[in-house]
Structure 1
Amino acid sequence: MIRKGIVMKLYKGFQDEYQRRHSEIWPEMVDMIHEYGAKNYSIFLDEKTNILFGYLEIENEEKWNESAETRICQKWWAYMKDIMETNPDNSPVSTDLKEVFHMD
């Protein structure tokens, strides 16, 4: 199992909307996330900076990267682009974090 940490940026004033959209996450999005080998997925918000910290566990990096090409992922990105920083392809601007400590 690979542990991943990422950071993203939410636009100011969209904290409640971001949380609402995720509380109503589409079942087909959840299915895709599991199908591409991810579990134990959490997103945290620093309310002072609007920085989002995502944590998830994946089975395989290459397989997880392929999830970006799915129709449902592309649809989700388009749905979220108005409330967070995104790239030209609508993917969230994100930075992978390097794990420097882990303890079970």
Structure 2
Amino acid sequence: MIRKGSIMRLFSGFEDEYKKRHSEIWPEMVEMLKKYGAQNYSIFLDVKTGNLFAYVEIEDEKLWNETGETEICKKWWAYMKDIMETNSDNSPVSIELKEVFHLD
């Protein structure tokens, strides 16, 4: 299993909306994430800074990297772009973190 961590940024004042949208995540989005190998996926919010920390375990890096090419993912990104920092293709601005420690 590959563990991945990343940081994204939520616009100020949208904390409740971000939580609401994820509590109502579309079933087809969940299905796609699982199909592309996502397991144990969590997102944490630092309410003081608006930083989001995402953690996911994946089966295959190449397969995971293909999620952004799916129509449902592009639709989700467009849905989220008004409440978080995004790139020109609507994907979230994301800083990938390098794992430096894991307690097994």
TM-score by length of 1: 0.99
- Over the residues paired in the alignment, what is the CA RMSD in angstroms? 0.4
| 1:8, distance to aligned residue in structure 2 (A) | 0.0
Cα distance between partner residues in 2 of 1:11 and 1:75: 19
**Alignment of 1:45 onto 2:45:** yes
Question: One-letter code of the match for 2:38?
Answer: A
Question: One-letter code of the match for 2:25?
Answer: I
Question: One-letter code of the match for 1:85?
Answer: E
Question: One-letter code of the match for 2:71?
Answer: R
Cα distance between partner residues in 2 of 1:25 and 1:57: 19
Displacement over 2 Å in runs of 4+: none
Matched position secondary structure for 2:66: helix
| 1:35, distance to aligned residue in structure 2 (A) | 0.3
Where does residue 85 of structure 2 map in the other structure? 85
Cα distance between partner residues in 1 of 2:31 and 2:67: 11
Question: One-letter code of the match for 1:18?
Answer: Y
Where does residue 100 of structure 2 map in the other structure? 100
1:53-85: CA deviations, max 9, x gaps?
Answer: 000000111100101000000000000000000
1:10-53: CA deviations, max 9, x gaps?
Answer: 00000000000000000000000000011100000000000000
Structure 2 segments unaligned to the other structure (5+ residues): none
Cα distance between partner residues in 2 of 1:12 and 1:93: 15
Where does residue 25 of structure 2 map in the other structure? 25
Matched pairs, number: 104
Cα distance between partner residues in 1 of 2:67 and 2:82: 21
Question: One-letter code of the match for 2:5?
Answer: G
Cα distance between partner residues in 2 of 1:19 and 1:62: 29
Question: One-letter code of the match for 1:14?
Answer: F
